[in-house]
Amino acid sequence: MLTMTHLVALTPLILVCITAVAVMLGIAWQRHHAGTAIASAAGLNIALLSVLVIWQMGPVETPLLVIDGLALFAAILILISTLVCVTLAHAYLEKYPGPREEFYLLLLCAAAGGIVLAASRHLATLFFGLELLSMPLYGMLAYAFRERHSLEAGIKYLVLSAAATAFLLFGMALLYAQTGRLDLAGLAVALTEDPNAWALAGAGLMLVGLGFKLSIVPFHLWTPDVYEGGPGPAATFLASASKVAVFVVLLRLVLVAPAFQGDWLHGLLAVLAVVTMLVGNLLALAQSNLKRLLGYSSIAHFGYLMVALVIGDGLAVETVGVYLVTYLVTTLGAFGVVTLLSTPYSGEDAAALHHYRGLFWRRPYLTAVLTVSMLSLAGIPFTAGFIGKFYIIALGVEAERWWLVGGIIMGSAIGLFYYLRVMVTLFLVEPGMQRRDAPHDWGVRAGGVVVLGLALLVLLLGVYPSPMIEWVKLMAVAGS
Amino acid sequence: MSLLLIVLLPLLGSLVPLMGSNERRNACATMTAVAPTIALGIALAYMGQVLDGDIPRAAVSWIPALGLELAMRLDGLSLLFVLLILGIGLLIILYTRFYLADGDDMPRFYAFLMLFMTSMLGIVMADNLLLLWVFWELTSLSSFLLIGYWYRQSEARKGARMALTVTGAGGLALLAGLLLIGQIVGSYDMQVVLDSRELIQQDPRYLPALLLVLLGAFTKSAQVPFQFWLPHAMAAPTPVSAFLHSATMVKAGVFLLARMHPALAGSEAWLYLVGLTGLVTLLYGAYFALLKHDLKGILAFSTVSHLGIITLLFGLDSRLAVVAGLFHIVNHACFKAALFMTAGIVDHECGTRDIRKLKGLWRFMPLTTTMAVLAGAAMAGVPLFNGFLSKEMMLAESLQTPLLGGLSWLIPALATVGSLLSVAYSLRLVRNVFFDGPARDLPRTPHEPPRLMLAPVMLLTVICVVVGLLPALTMTALLEAAASAALAGDSPELHLAIWHGVNPALLMSLTALLGGLLLYLQRRHVFAFQRQFRPRDARLLFEMGIQLGVRIAQRAIDSLENGSLQRYMLWLVIAVLCVAGSALTQTSGLQGPLENQPLDGLLIAGAIIAMFAGLATAIMHRRRLISLLMLSIVGLMTSLAFARFSAPDLALTQLAVEVVNMILLMLALFFLPQKTPQESGAPRILRDVLLAAGFGGIVASLNYAVLTRPLESISDFYLENSVPGGGGHNVVNVILVDFRGFDTLGEITVLCIAAIGIYKLLNRLRLFMPSSDADGRPWALDHHPAILGTVAQTILPLALLVSFFIFLRGHNAPGGGFIAGLITAAALLLLYIARGVDWTQQRAPIQFQPIAVAGVGVATLTGVGSFVFGQPFLTSAYGHFHIPLIGDIELATAILFDLGVYLTVVGSTLMMLANLGKMTTRHRPSKNKEQA
């Protein structure tokens, strides 16, 4: 039975949904770009505030959703990324010729999906959340549909994601047929009582479906194309909020369900983790497009994160938390710069590396943001990325998983090389070629302010991460 | 606290030069020098205390969660390095002032330099393993900035990148190693770690930890096989080479060996790994130093070689060897920095560093020549210079080593060979450049550099000579303090003196000196020998490695990620096949405890038709209309299968959904090309068929396995409670309108909102009716053929009747509001298609929005109605009524709710689909508004 407590605990989700409906009705009534953006941002901010308020409550469980530390943690990350995407989208869509307001609607729906996904304790909500997260993304990616690449990205993501979802669904069906349960807890109990190969196949297929969304090798093939083709804000959302939500639910599955902890799946996860780190980094070497490069880099980073899944003990949750925070801040910063440089919308995004040649000489602050992000992605000390990488390596060393540690080190070394390449490009002498540039007043716009703030946050988290770590620990305690 | 200042002052100092300007260079240099001078003062103030054996420590909490705290210590080892770093650093600042050309950005250089100094000081003073690592990474980063200072040169960029990649990777290995040590000891505090030698060395994780730490140290100190980055880092400005690549950064590796010596050394593994690496590096560096023609190249390889000597000394299992190693660190820093600066002066004055072009410079720059001769003599290990002392200690220690057991005589022999080579290249460096006949064809006429530029060289040379003459007086105290830190105990008694009497070491030294002279004179044989080998440039190898990586990546990208959706799908399916297939191999058999269902003719026929239709859909997919028809057969067979296996309600729903779907697909087809061009060749078709068959096989096996196993589900509960609780025999309908009525209410509300949303969002969509198909044939002029129109019109009342019937019986027999709604919607849509929007709109000007909204309203009111009877929301009641003529009928309040469902379904479906159809006509919603 739904009680008041439940409703209170679900406030953030409800607020996001209300905002989505309000935005939709607003569009139907009167189109107004800035108004829509402000309304979305306001709704998200209120939702964020409400999360902070209900943070005090203990875990609240409904039959379908659980609002515990992990869920709230993910909700915060998702809401923040969505907020960043809203501000970026506002700058980006300024000159977009078609209807602009629907983008926010899609963004809000996807955010709601992410929150549901991260809070799900039932396969039904898992599926529902995943779909609610993915469906709007099809639209967002193909939003600039007059641009061939954008349309292609949308359709590719649609078709492949549908296939992956089918596998996920089939896996769920197998698990259900095996146990007759759909809630994760019941599933776990039933599988412990009677573990067998069908459950494995089911869990394996679910892993495929979720792995696809996380673009884990070998399900990663769509990633670079889609990142490259999609409009900046959509790619940003895909790389941040979407991944956080899916990863959190995968973590939940691994922590709860014994089928995910058996030897076979464990081995599979470990192999996938190593392969993902190495392939992601290796393929990034040859990229000459920043968005594609970031795509591969995000593949590699989730390879590192999977180490936490493989090890899956108490410290793993904390590690995941810290890593997700640092990854998110950094990625948002990097994608933010790319988006701002492609702002206002004028056809294809400025993502080829040569667009960035000598950026320092015309946009020193944006360059600083991008440099900081690259350093952080490479895991250099005094940036947020270092803290994350430290946690992952510490986790691997503690569990004595030498292959994984070796993979992280190899991958990071390769990573260092191509992140440096980007950084060096920024400072090269400006060539006389045509260039794409951010508008002159980017710094005082919402998007610009947010990006600068993110860069500062990357540094702050790198120098003084203790509050963040304390917070994540709280989450990990509340979540387990 | 003032301990922390030693590190923090240079950090602040890195901001100072940025305030200076490129024009006022003297001011800029002076301002920069202030911070390190104060830091040096503080260090000197601590000196007495440290030499007495105290270890001042200071700590500030930083990130307790990681065990990382800002903890500093100043033991003898740290002090030795701090003095080196700050002292030589100050000299470098002075030298740089004159070295940088007018166009170079001086504040930037100084800022990087101070940043580097900070990180280096951090390494040597860190009292926490992790802090040490943090600074370690910072040296890599700041050295990257310094090496790449002339960022316009591709050489500099590549060298910088290589240095950072190699040392950065080594740094990560080091981190893993340090973490492991921390795990073993349970603390990252330096003192605790250094005191836990037994604990660490008896732990099974000792070997991996040692390997990882050594990997970090060896990459940083350019030991074979990681030596290749150092010569290429010479693209840096010379002050950087003098500071980083002789005195400090490359010494970080050997510093680490000294620092961790108390905890890690003493084992067989350490002896062999460190000792042999040092020996090989010593020989490798010395040999190639002899062959290089670039002045800085010679110095770089000689640095590699000398680092090898130091590593060898730390590797040898003797306490005196460690002292010798520390001594050599100091000596090497002094003479090598002096030589680098001299090389910079030569380069600066002559415009070239090629030793083949330089000759007889002593005529032009006698003072510089004197300095070079003295420093070169120190490098060669000539008696009366500091290099001689440490080298002789090295030779003496190499005689004692247990390394290689019976073959241990190899060590001193090879060490002597190394010294011999070093004599030869020192001779070559000094004689060829400064003497050897008069100079010819120099790019520029050289003369003495400014006094102040020469001053640092002079100071360093003087130190070399003074230490060489009075070793006991100058170095004993400092070395003993450093050694007691590196050995975690009292330093062995030192007898630094020039003359120890005639002993084997002296003989070896003499052999080396004479042999070196001889080798130098006969060097053309060596060159001739070397010419037989293909020159192998380490950078080329590294770049080739990178290029190879890139090429592999590119090939992988070309074959994996060519942008083809089919290819992506292929890999996805293959991955799934592997995952599910390998899971299937884990099981014993597919058959579960349940028996197979008996087969009969009907079933077989149905299955064959379904399979045939499925195949046909795939085969005919290029002709979309036919393929669509085949697909509808598959759908029909599915519905029939539901009906056959006692789920008539589901069958009915499936059927209705199929019909609506089909209509929607037809509408979409209208806007799409009629045919797909053939693109696949035979091999690809074969591949796809195999893949599809494999995948089908896996899915079928899984299905079979699941179906032959008993299943317990929640349905029993509903089956039992449907009649007593909801008054209906149609369980599905009862669930929908009664048990889970609240959910349904939510669902239809969402459906209604979604439909309105779509309706409004379609406002701006402009679709244009295609007038011809893909081949250019015009569509039939008659858009609405009479037969279809007549049929549709005839069917409409019938369909409405059927849907009413189904609606009414829904509670007990298969049917219900949802299905009835779909039937009505399908019939109306058919009419729209058959007769066109105009025609239909004229005759039935129905607005669908109110219908949908009314549906939600009715459903809600039904729910609210139960409040009137004092019941909770959506409570249902039912009863039997007798109606004349029709007979006994059972009615439940749920039927009202179902009416709401019905209305919503009809309204929403038509609102969406009919309006989509309207897009092409003048009934387009937005058009109307705009025109009006």
Please give the Cα distance from B608 to B617 (Å, whole number): 14
Please give the Cα distance from B336 to B378 (Å, whole number): 9
The burial of A408, by beta-carbon neighbours within 10 Å (0-12 exposed, 13-18 middle, 19 or more buried), is given as: buried
Tell me the pLDDT band of B868, cut-offs 50, 70 and 90: confident
Q: What residues does B772 pair with on adjacent strands? A: B778
Taking the complete model, does pTM exceed 0.80, yes or no?
A: yes
**How far off is chain A from B906, nearest CA to CA, in Å?**
22
- Judged against a pLDDT cut of 70, whether residue B767 lies above it is answered with no
- Judged against a pLDDT cut of 70, whether residue B520 lies above it is answered with yes
Its sign, for the CA torsion B467, B473, B474, B476, is positive
Phi and psi dihedrals of B777, rounded to 5?
Answer: -75, 135
Residue A36 pLDDT: 94
Closest listed residue to residue B130, CA positions, set B60, B177, B73, B167: B177
Please give the Cα distance from B652 to B640 (Å, whole number): 9
Tell me the pLDDT band of A23, cut-offs 50, 70 and 90: very high
CB contact under 8 A, A159 and B584: no
Tell me the pLDDT band of B183, cut-offs 50, 70 and 90: confident
Closest listed residue to residue B773, CA positions, set B623, B923, B618: B623
What DSSP line would sit under B5-36, residue for residue? HHHHHHHHHTTHHHHS-SS-HHHHHHHHHHHH
A393 interfacial to chain B (CB closer than 8 Å): yes
CB contact under 8 A, A400 and B553: no
CA distances from B459 to B83, B88, B874 (A): 15, 10, 97
Place of tokens 């001889």: B518
* Buried b or exposed e, range B548-583, using 16+ CB within 10 angstroms: ebbeebeeebeebbeeeeeebbbbbbebbeebbbeb
| Arithmetic mean of pLDDT, B39-46 | 92
Please give the Cα distance from B557 to B684 (Å, whole number): 20
Share of chain B above pLDDT 70, in %: 93
- Judged against a pLDDT cut of 50, whether residue B930 lies above it is answered with no
Residue in A156, A224, A264 nearest the CB of B565? A156
- Strand, helix or coil at B68? strand
Lowest-pLDDT choice from A177-181, A186-190, B585-589, B805-809: B585-589
Tell me the pLDDT band of B702, cut-offs 50, 70 and 90: confident
The burial of B724, by beta-carbon neighbours within 10 Å (0-12 exposed, 13-18 middle, 19 or more buried), is given as: exposed
* Count of C-beta atoms within a 10 Å radius of residue B501: 6
Indicate the DSSP class of residue B811: T
CB contact under 8 A, B706 and A393: no
**How far off is chain A from B7, nearest CA to CA, in Å?**
16
Tell me the pLDDT band of B764, cut-offs 50, 70 and 90: low
Minimum Cα–Cα distance from B173: chain A residue: A409
CB contact under 8 A, A207 and B706: no
Minimum Cα–Cα distance from B169: chain A residue: A413
Q: Where are the beta strands (DSSP E) in B573-615?
A: none
- A chain contacts of residue B565, beta-carbon cutoff 8 Å: 155-156, 159-160
Higher pLDDT, B723 or B73: B73
Please, where are the H alpha helices in B221-365?
A: 229-232, 238-242, 249-264, 268-291, 295-315, 319-350
- Judged against a pLDDT cut of 80, whether residue A444 lies above it is answered with no
CB contact under 8 A, B712 and A197: no
Lowest-pLDDT choice from A435-444, B237-246, B307-316, B466-475: A435-444
Please give the Cα distance from B543 to B246 (Å, whole number): 25
A222's CB contacts (< 8 A; 6+ apart) are A156, A157, A160, A161, A212, A215, B568
- Strand, helix or coil at B646? coil
- Judged against a pLDDT cut of 50, whether residue B256 lies above it is answered with yes
Residues 167-226 of chain A with CB under 8 A from chain B are 167, 170, 173-174, 177-178, 180, 196-198, 200-201, 204-205, 207-208, 212, 218-219, 221-222, 224-225
Average pLDDT over chain A, rounded to an integer: 88
Rg (CA), chain A: 21
Phi and psi dihedrals of B675, rounded to 5?
Answer: -130, 150
Count each helix (H run) and each strand (E run) in chain B, helices first.
Answer: 37, 4
Residue in A102, A174, A394 nearest the CB of B702? A174
Tell me the pLDDT band of B1, cut-offs 50, 70 and 90: low
Residue B174 CB-half CA count within 13 A: 28
Closest listed residue to residue B219, CA positions, set B134, B288, B304: B304
CB contact under 8 A, A397 and B173: no
Tell me the pLDDT band of B931, cut-offs 50, 70 and 90: very low
Tokens of A45: 């901010």
Tokens of B551: 């090429």
| Arithmetic mean of pLDDT, A160-187 | 88
Cβ atoms of A148 and A119 within 8 Å: the answer is: no
Residue B922 pLDDT: 57
Residue B921 pLDDT: 63
The H or E element that residue A3 is part of is: none
Choose, out of A420, A428, A474, A477, the residue to mutate when testing the contact with B (most B CBs < 10 Å).
A420
Please state whether beta strands B878-883 and B68-73 pair in parallel, antiparallel, or not at all (unpaired). unpaired
- Judged against a pLDDT cut of 90, whether residue A352 lies above it is answered with no
Please give the Cα distance from A448 to A427 (Å, whole number): 21
- Judged against a pLDDT cut of 70, whether residue B535 lies above it is answered with no
Minimum Cα–Cα distance from A391: chain B residue: B66
Read off the pLDDT of residues A259-294 as tens digits, 9 standing for 90 and up.
666 777 888 889 999 999 999 998 898 888 999 999
Closest listed residue to residue B335, CA positions, set B293, B391, B292: B391
Minimum Cα–Cα distance from A200: chain B residue: B583
Indicate the DSSP class of residue A61: E
Q: What residues does B63 pair with on adjacent strands? A: B68
Residue A478 pLDDT: 62
Read off the pLDDT of residues B434-465 as tens digits, 9 standing for 90 and up.
888 887 777 778 888 888 889 999 999 999 99
Share of chain A above pLDDT 70, in %: 96
Tokens of B72: 């500093």
- Strand, helix or coil at B163? helix
* Count of C-beta atoms within a 10 Å radius of residue B35: 24
Closest listed residue to residue A152, CA positions, set A77, A239, A70, A231: A231
- A chain contacts of residue B554, beta-carbon cutoff 8 Å: 286
- A chain contacts of residue B556, beta-carbon cutoff 8 Å: 279, 282-283
The burial of B432, by beta-carbon neighbours within 10 Å (0-12 exposed, 13-18 middle, 19 or more buried), is given as: buried
Residue B260 pLDDT: 92
Instruction: Name the percent of chain B in helix, strand, coil, to the closest 5.
Output: 75, 5, 25
The burial of B1, by beta-carbon neighbours within 10 Å (0-12 exposed, 13-18 middle, 19 or more buried), is given as: exposed
- B chain contacts of residue A394, beta-carbon cutoff 8 Å: 66, 179
**How far off is chain B from A79, nearest CA to CA, in Å?**
23
What DSSP line would sit under A72-107, residue for residue? HHHHHHHHHHHHHHHHHHHHHGGG-SS--THHHHHH
B8's CB contacts (< 8 A; 6+ apart) are B118
- Judged against a pLDDT cut of 50, whether residue B926 lies above it is answered with no
B102's CB contacts (< 8 A; 6+ apart) are none
Read off the pLDDT of residues B374-413 as tens digits, 9 standing for 90 and up.
999 999 988 888 888 888 888 888 888 777 777 888 888 9
CB contact under 8 A, A201 and B550: no
Share of chain A above pLDDT 90, in %: 51
Read off the pLDDT of residues A403-414 as tens digits, 9 standing for 90 and up.
898 899 889 988
| Arithmetic mean of pLDDT, B330-335 | 92
Residue A22 pLDDT: 94
Q: What residues does B879 pair with on adjacent strands? A: B891
- One-letter amino acid at B522 equals Q
Choose, out of B133, B544, B561, B573, the residue to mutate when testing the contact with A (most A CBs < 10 Å).
B561
- A chain contacts of residue B569, beta-carbon cutoff 8 Å: 159-160, 163
Residue B218 CB-half CA count within 13 A: 26
Tell me the pLDDT band of B932, cut-offs 50, 70 and 90: very low
- Judged against a pLDDT cut of 50, whether residue B341 lies above it is answered with yes
* Count of C-beta atoms within a 10 Å radius of residue B253: 26
The burial of B922, by beta-carbon neighbours within 10 Å (0-12 exposed, 13-18 middle, 19 or more buried), is given as: exposed
Read off the pLDDT of residues B566-589 as tens digits, 9 standing for 90 and up.
888 888 899 888 888 888 887 777
CB contact under 8 A, A198 and B561: no
Average pLDDT over chain B, rounded to an integer: 84
**How far off is chain B from A366, nearest CA to CA, in Å?**
19
Break chain B into its structural domains and give their ranges.
265-490+502-529, 730-924
Phi and psi dihedrals of B126, rounded to 5?
Answer: -60, 135
A424 interfacial to chain B (CB closer than 8 Å): yes
ipTM (interface pTM): 0.89
**How far off is chain A from B209, nearest CA to CA, in Å?**
10
Read off the pLDDT of residues B489-519 as tens digits, 9 standing for 90 and up.
777 777 777 777 788 888 888 899 999 999 8
Tokens of B814: 């298969």
Please give the Cα distance from B418 to B328 (Å, whole number): 15
A155 interfacial to chain B (CB closer than 8 Å): yes
Closest listed residue to residue A60, CA positions, set A13, A101, A25: A13
Lowest-pLDDT choice from A146-155, B227-236, B284-293: B227-236
Please give the Cα distance from A151 to A128 (Å, whole number): 25
Tell me the pLDDT band of A380, cut-offs 50, 70 and 90: confident
Output the CA angle B681-B683-B684, nearest 5 degrees. Answer: 65
- Judged against a pLDDT cut of 70, whether residue B624 lies above it is answered with yes
**How far off is chain A from B92, nearest CA to CA, in Å?**
26
Residue length of chain A: 480
**How far off is chain A from B706, nearest CA to CA, in Å?**
6
CA distances from B206 to A265, B169, B486, B504, B828 (A): 31, 21, 19, 37, 80
Residue B928 pLDDT: 43
B532's CB contacts (< 8 A; 6+ apart) are none
